[in-house]
Chain A
């Protein structure tokens, strides 16, 4: 079993839909990151959180430490949100990356 799992693996949505991407992990962590990788490859950090919820524009990230689960929500999705979303968990001496969720938003 992988230490960090994401679901779904692939997701296609219509523009305007509410999107949820899930991340589950099996190790103790000090922080969890959500990253975005656009076609063409560049990776940018969206959120880093260790508890509760964070919001940035149309993106919301939540984490439940007890359940070892995090969700990334996208409200009013847009074709420019099409990308691979990567969950990564960090403890003191390592970062473990999930396999990513590929999102395609169709106009």
Chain B
């Protein structure tokens, strides 16, 4: 049982390049999330999808777009990468919106560096 799988694990981009971070979960969860983690700060929500077919902005959505491709997959796209987007990105999923009676499950993270 893989849980939440993120690809790639590491990526280096040049300013202005675009890329898509992929996330898939095999727990049949309804809700999925993208967070970024920066030194000294807590995880911050970029976008979330409470259920298949819906997406909503989180705390720090600027510069990102998301697609809930189906119930399993939720991708995060950087259209024109900026050095400020250098971070570790985590995808998470949960049965209910923001967890309900169960915790969120996290992927292993993607370390993204923008030069």
Contacts and interface: CB of A to CB of B under 8 A. Distances in A.
Interface of A: 2, 4, 31, 33, 35, 40-45, 48, 86, 88, 90, 92-100
Contact of A97 (B42, B99, B105): B42
A96 B8 CA distance: 26
SS class, residues of chain B in contact with chain A: loop
Contact of A48 (B40, B90, B102, B106): B102
Given A41-B109, A92-B97, 19 more contacts: A2-B42, A4-B42, A33-B99, A33-B104, A42-B108, A44-B106, A48-B99, A48-B102, A48-B103, A86-B42, A88-B43, A93-B97, A93-B98, A94-B98, A96-B42, A97-B35, A97-B44, A99-B40, A100-B42
Contacts of B108: 40-42
21 contacts: A2-B42, A33-B104, A35-B106, A40-B108, A41-B88, A41-B109, A42-B106, A44-B106, A45-B103, A45-B104, A48-B99, A48-B101, A48-B103, A90-B98, A93-B97, A95-B45, A95-B99, A95-B104, A96-B42, A97-B35, A99-B40
A92 B41 contact: no
Contacts of A42: 106-109
B83 to A, nearest CB: 21
Contacts, number: 54
B43 A97 contact: yes
